[in-house]
Chain A
Amino acid sequence: MNILVGYDGSNESKDALKLAQKHAKVFGAKIKVVKSVTRNLPLDYSQIQVAEEKLEREIRNQINGDIPNYETRLLVSSQSSGENLIWIAELSKIDEIIIGVRKRSIVGKLLLGSTAQYVILHSPCPVITLK
């Protein structure tokens, strides 16, 4: 079984990672942590490399040896984060997507983040949201 975590460094996404760890233990699953960033032109490879290493380090620190089976992936693309997550989910045969949902403001309470909504409606597999 494969679990996909949408990670953007927010507290909600850190909680999502924790939940994924718990589920990975129960299901004996593999975790894939994906962070999606918008592509700026011109592409600066050294910057991307720095970002990749930073993501790897962050995730390693948070998982802290708790589970052996995980990988991180930084996606640099002109698509939205939602589209990227679905693309990865279809490509890597993901069985479960875990994402955090933010409620930014009083107005935002009424509106679901666009990424979360896109993922929920287009995902090929069950989606777990937490806040």
Chain B
Amino acid sequence: MKILIGYDGSNSAKDALKLAKDRAKAFNATVDVITSMVGANNDQYEDVRQAELGLEYAKTLLEEDNIHCETHLFVRGLSPGDDLVKFAEDNQINEIIVGVRRRSKVSKLLMGSTAQYVVLNASCPVVTIK
């Protein structure tokens, strides 16, 4: 079984990572971790470095428990939602895990666009955690 997780370094993404770890152990699964940057001109070197560090952290955390893990940093002009859904299709992923953020009082009513896009377009079950 293959689990895919969208990781952006936020707290909910960290929770998603912990969940991925538990589920990977239970299902004896491999985990792919994706960080997606759109790749606009204003992306600074610092941001890319930050994303790489985040992915390294994710890999270390998962490999502590001997879970086979691959990390991917996508900067190819696709939105994070698109990147996740495409990767899941291309690699026969069985489950996508994404964190859902509730930033403010107003956004409590609205779901993040990435989570919503993934839930509606993914070819496999999607696990959301907040």
Interface residues of A (CB under 8 A from B): 19, 26-27, 98, 101, 103, 109, 112, 116-117, 120-121, 123, 126-131
Contact = CB atoms under 8 A, between A and B. Distances in A.
B111 A112 contact: yes
Contacts, number: 51
16 contacts: A26-B26, A26-B27, A101-B119, A101-B120, A112-B111, A112-B120, A120-B111, A120-B119, A121-B100, A121-B102, A123-B130, A126-B19, A127-B128, A128-B95, A129-B119, A129-B126
Contacts of B120: 101, 103, 109, 112, 131
Contacts of A98: 125
Given A101-B119, A112-B119, A112-B120, A129 B128 contact: yes
Given A112-B116, A121-B111, A126-B128, 15 more contacts: A101-B120, A109-B120, A116-B119, A117-B111, A120-B100, A120-B130, A121-B130, A123-B130, A126-B129, A127-B128, A129-B125, A130-B124, A130-B126, A131-B119, A131-B122
Nearest to B126: A129
Nearest to A110: B120
Contacts of A27: 26
B75 interface: no
Interface of B (DSSP majority class): mixed
A129 B100 CA distance: 13
B48 interface: no
Interface of B: 19, 26-27, 95, 100, 102, 108-109, 111, 115-116, 119-120, 122, 124-130
Contacts of A126: 19, 127-129
A117 B130 CA distance: 12
Contacts of B108: 121
Contacts of B95: 128
Nearest to A22: B27
Contacts of A128: 95, 125-128
Nearest to A109: B120
B58 to A, nearest CB: 18
A128 to B, nearest CB: 5
